[in-house]
Chain A
Amino acid sequence: MIQELTWNRKDLLTIEELSREEIDTIHALATQFKTTLGRSQKKLPTLRGKTIINLFIEPSTRTRIAFEIAAKRLSADVTLVEKAASSLVKGESLRDTAQVVEALNADMIIIRHSAAGSPAYLSQIVDIPVINAGDGAHEHPTQALLDTFTMREKLGHDLSGKKVTILGDILFSRVARSNVWALLKLGAEVTLAGPNTLVPKQFEELGVTVEYNLKKALADADVVMLLRIQHERQTSSHFPSLGEYKALYGLNRERAAWLKPEAIIMHPGPVNRGVELDSSLADGERSVILEQVTNGIVNRMAVLYLCASAANQTSETAI
Chain B
Amino acid sequence: MSTTSLIDPQAAYKKLLETLREHANEWSNPAIVGVANGGVELARRIRDDLLPDSPVGILNLTFHRDDIALKPIPKDFMATDIPFDVDDRTILLVDDVFATGRSARAALNELFDYGRPQQVCLAVLVDIDQRLLPIHPDFSGHQTQLGAGEKVHVSLNSKTRELRIEIEHS
| A residues apposed to B, CB below 8 Å | 1-5, 7-8, 28-29, 31-33, 35-36, 39, 41, 44-48, 74, 305-306, 308-310, 312-319
Contacts and interface: CB of A to CB of B under 8 A. Distances in A.
14 contacts: A2-B37, A2-B77, A4-B75, A4-B77, A39-B114, A41-B113, A45-B63, A46-B63, A46-B64, A306-B73, A309-B72, A316-B72, A317-B70, A319-B99
Given A5-B77, A308-B68, A312-B69, 14 more contacts: A2-B78, A3-B77, A4-B77, A28-B79, A36-B113, A45-B66, A46-B62, A46-B63, A46-B68, A48-B66, A312-B70, A316-B72, A317-B70, A319-B103
B69 A319 contact: no
The 10 closest A-B pairs by CB, nearest first: A312-B69, A46-B63, A32-B79, A44-B63, A3-B77, A5-B77, A2-B76, A309-B73, A41-B113, A313-B72
Nearest to A310: B73
A316 B151 CA distance: 13
A2 B40 CA distance: 11
B75 to A, nearest CB: 6
Nearest to A318: B151
Given A2-B37, A32-B79, A318-B151, A44 B64 contact: yes
B116 to A, nearest CB: 11
A305 B99 CA distance: 25
Interface residues of B, number: 29
Contacts of A31: 79
Contact of B71 (A3, A29, A41, A309): A309
A310 B69 CA distance: 9
A44 B106 CA distance: 11
B90 interface: no
Contacts of B80: 32, 35
B8 to A, nearest CB: 24
B134 interface: no
Contacts of B70: 312, 314-315, 317
Central interface residue in B70, B73, B75, by most chain A CB within 10 Å: B73
Nearest to A317: B70
A269 to B, nearest CB: 28
Main secondary structure of the interface of A (DSSP, over half): loop
A4 B73 contact: no
A45 B76 CA distance: 21
Nearest to A36: B113
A176 B75 CA distance: 31
B74 interface: yes
Contacts of A7: 73
Contact of A319 (B67, B73, B75): B67
Nearest to B36: A2
Nearest to B66: A45
Nearest to B40: A2
Contact of A28 (B75, B77, B99, B103): B77
B102 interface: yes
Contacts of B71: 309, 316-317
B155 interface: no
B98 to A, nearest CB: 11
Central interface residue in B37, B60, B74, B103, by most chain A CB within 10 Å: B74
B64 A319 contact: no
B3 interface: no
B19 interface: no
B68 A29 contact: no
A314 B79 CA distance: 25
A313 B71 CA distance: 6
Contact of A45 (B60, B109, B151): B109
A51 to B, nearest CB: 14
Given A32-B60, A306-B73, A3 B79 contact: yes
